[in-house]
Amino acid sequence: MRKVLTGTLILLMSASVAARDLSRQSFLIGEQAAGMGGAYTSLVGDPASSYYNPAGLGGLYRQAISLSASAYWMALEDYEKIVDFTTDVGERIIVDGDSMTFSTFPASVVYLLPLDSHKDPGAFHHVLAFSLLVPHYDELDAEVFMPRAAGLPLEVKASFLIEDATYWAGPSYAFSVGGKFRAGVSLFVLTHLLEEQIKVSSKVAVEDAQGSWLDMYSAVSSERSAACVTALVQAGLQYDITDRFTLGFSVRSPTVGTLYSDVSLLSFNSWYMQGGRPDPTPLSGYVDRLETSNVDMKYRLPLMLALGAGYRVPESWVLALDVSFHLPTDPYRIFDGPLVYPKDASGDPILDDNRALDPSAETKAKWVVNANLGTEFNVSDGFRARFGFFTDLSSVDHDFYDENNTRGQAVILPKLNRFGVSAGLAMIGDWSTSSFNLVYVVGVGETFALGEEIEGAEPRMIDVTTHTITVVLAGTVDL
């Protein structure tokens, strides 16, 4: 039973050690682009082009600042039968997992500075921009509770609070020639931040050599604060085939590696055996406090290629379609560090892996193809409506976790294929624009169940569904 208990705790503790980068375009940024489902590789007008295709900046002629923010972000996750097995006496144990989180965060800030005063679209024109973007944000606030049941005298409670976000910051340069050709490049420094709090407690009844029943209590609490810095380059082209039809192409390099890493881990691990009534005195046990900062964190994004086509009727409507291809990543350690053991009274380490703090975790991503479709049309003088549809297919590689026997890292790392719709209304003025965008995303997928470690069963997949609603407020002001 001690082995069963230890396996359960290790599984739950390791379930969230990998950052939850579930997809390749988890959040739509910008003003016009967010309302059009992110279909912006071939379009001009939104300063957030620095992210979608920096060539689009070459068609902007006014000094301006653009802001967008998630005024409301709600995410629901449902893990169906994360625990599902039958005990030795025939009692079935079923436990569902769920998470509900709310947040508000900035999505993009872009400052645009034309480097000339040309207004003629046929003349050479070039632009400089600086962007601060949040294209990835994820939060999990989940609990798992498995009550004590006949035939399995084990009770487990666990809670997970995980938040990770990636901030992109850097300059962009773009130019246009002849009014038909535009090119641009962005250099981004990426800062990935992760905060984790995990708590697991359990109680199990065990029988000693004399036939007496004792209660064994275990608890693990872990906190992780991590940050790393990396960089990438994105470049793009746009060409107006006709006055109405435009093609766009964008390529984003892989991240260059880890420029800076800072990780701190703190874990409390306790266990004790307690006699039954009338003498509940603790009989044996330990309490460990394990701490380390000798850990590296990495964050990788693969090579991305995007092709877009746009058709516009001036002062009437716009239609755009994007297809993006994201290459896979090789296996790598997202966290890498040595085991940390507790020490005895003399200061020597207690070399017990069940009591050690192991910060290492590996991840891998498959290739993904995503599509974005968006439209905009005038509804009245100064008002435009926007609609979009996009796919957000997961790059999570569950085969990698299965083959390497690291399924515990993937319990709350579901492989989700998500599908989103967006709708927005924009007010266009002479010197400013403002918009209200609503984005809804539904995700369907699967992940590993907990039954393997608890009952020794074959690995089993469970269904996961998610719903995300985001309200984006955005605006641009000419300076």
What span, in angstroms and rounded, lies between the C-alpha atoms of 138 and 18? 13
CA–CA–CA angle 63, 66, 72 (5° rounding): 175
The two tokens of residue 61 are 């002629």
Domains in the chain, ordered, with CATH?
A: 2-478 (2.40.160.60)
pLDDT at 412: 73
CA distance 437 to 416: 24
Taking CA atoms, 228 is separated from 83, 163, 332, in Å, by 34, 15, 15
447 Cβ neighbours under 8 A, 6+ residues apart = 79, 398, 410, 411, 412, 413, 414, 415, 461, 462, 464
**Alpha-carbon gap, residue 105 to 101, rounded angstroms:** 13
The rounded distance, in Å, linking the Cα atoms of 114 and 377 is 27
3-state class (DSSP) for residue 420: strand
User: How far is it, in rounded angstroms, from Cα 403 to Cα 397?
Assistant: 10
Q: How far is Cα 198 from Cα 196, in angstroms, rounded to an integer?
A: 7
Contact, 394 vs 416, CB < 8 A? yes
Answer for the pair 248, 43: CB distance below 8 angstroms, yes or no.
yes
Q: What is the pLDDT of residue 247?
A: 98
Predicted local confidence at residue 10, as pLDDT: 44
Low-confidence stretches of the chain (pLDDT < 70) are 1-26, 86-90, 149-152, 208-209, 276-283, 405, 408-411, 451-458
Question: 0.75 cut: is pTM over it?
Answer: yes
Q: How many residues does the chain have?
A: 479
Q: Report pLDDT for 243.
A: 92
For 411-444, letters b (16+ CB in 10 Å) and e give bbbbbbebebebbbebeeeeeebbbbbbbebebe
Express each pLDDT in 90-138 by its tens digit: 677 777 888 888 888 888 999 999 999 877 778 899 999 999 999 988 8
- For residues 67 and 93, is the Cβ–Cβ distance under 8 A? no
- The enclosing H or E element of 452 equals helix 451-455
Q: What is the DSSP letter of 455?
A: H
Q: Which of 43, 50, 62 is nearest to 238 (CA)?
A: 43
What three-state secondary structure class fits 475?
Answer: strand
Between vectors from CA 235 to CA 233 and to CA 240, what angle results, nearest 5°?
Answer: 170
β-strands 432-448, 415-428: how paired?
A: antiparallel
Answer yes or no: are the C-beta atoms of 217 and 274 closer than 8 Å: yes
- The DSSP call for residue 58 is G
Nearest to 105 by CA among 132, 76, 73: 73
Write the CB contacts of 296 (distance below 8 Å, at least 6 apart in sequence): 228, 258, 261, 263, 333, 335, 336, 337
Instruction: Name residue 403's beta-bridge partners.
Output: none
